[in-house]
Amino acid sequence: MLLKAAGRSVATGRKFHTLHCKVLCQSKMESTTNPKEIMIPVPYGHIAGKIWNEGGSPLLSLHGWMDNAGTWDTVAPLLPRNISIVAIDFPGHGLSSFKPLGIGSTFVHLLQVIERVVQYFGWKEVSLLGHSMGGAAAMMYAGAFPEKVIKVIMVDIVKPVATPAESQPQLTAESIKELLEVEAKIGKGLQSYEYSFIVDKLIKGYASSITEETAKILLKRGSIKHSNGLYSFNYDPRLKVPSIFGMTFEQQKEFANRLNCELMIIKASAGPIYEKQEHYDEMKCLYSKSAKKFIYKEVEGTHHVHLNDPQVVAPLIVEFMHRKL
Catalytic residues: 132
Helix axes 133-144, 109-121, angle to 10 degrees: 70
Rounded Cα distance between 140 and 246, Å, is 13
Rounded Cα distance between 220 and 18, Å, is 10
Rounded Cα distance between 97 and 7, Å, is 10
Q: Is-contact 128 142, C-beta < 8 A?
A: yes
CB atoms within 10 A of CB 167: 11
Q: Is-contact 235 99, C-beta < 8 A?
A: no
Provide the pairing of β-strand 45-52 with 83-88. Answer: antiparallel
CB atoms within 10 A of CB 22: 8
Q: Is-contact 33 68, C-beta < 8 A?
A: no
Query: Where does residue 198 rank: exposed (0-12), middle (13-18), buried (19+ CB within 10 A)?
Result: buried
- In the chain the first and final C-alpha atoms are separated, in Å, by 28
Tell me the HSE value of 224 on the side-chain side, using a 13 A CA sphere: 21
Q: How far is CA 255 from CA 147, 193, 248, in A?
A: 13, 43, 11
Rounded Cα distance between 130 and 157, Å, is 9
Rounded Cα distance between 178 and 310, Å, is 37
